[in-house]
Amino acid sequence: MPGHPRPEPALATLCHDPFFEDGWLYERKLDGMRVLAERRGAGTTLWSRSGRDVSESFPEVVEAVTAATDGDVVLDGEVVAFDGPRTSFERLQPRIHARGASAARARATPVFYYVFDVLSVAGDDVRRRPLTERKRRLRAAVRPGGALRMTPHRVRADAAVLGDACARGWEGLIAKRADSRYETGRTKAWLKFKCEAGQELVVVGWTDPEGSRSGLGALLLGYHDQPGGDALVYAGKVGTGFSETVLRDLRERLDALAVASSPCTRGKLPTAGVHWVRPELVAQLAFTEWTSAGQLRHPRFLGLRTDKDPADVVREA
Distance of CA 271 to the CA centre of its chain: 26
Q: What is the DSSP letter of 307?
A: S
User: Partners of 304 in the beta sheet?
Assistant: 283
Marked catalytic residue, from 29, 176, 194, 237: 29
| Rounded alpha-carbon distances, angstroms, from residue 55 to 12, 46, 65, 240 | 24, 5, 11, 34
Pick from 171, 135, 140, 234: which is nearest to 28 by CA?
171
Phi then psi dihedrals of residue 118, to 5 deg: -135, 135
Let me know if 268 is a catalytic residue: no
Contact 205, 274 (CB under 8 A): yes
Cα dihedral: 16, 176, 61, 128 (round 10): -140
At residue 251, what is the residue type?
A: R
Catalytic center residues? 29
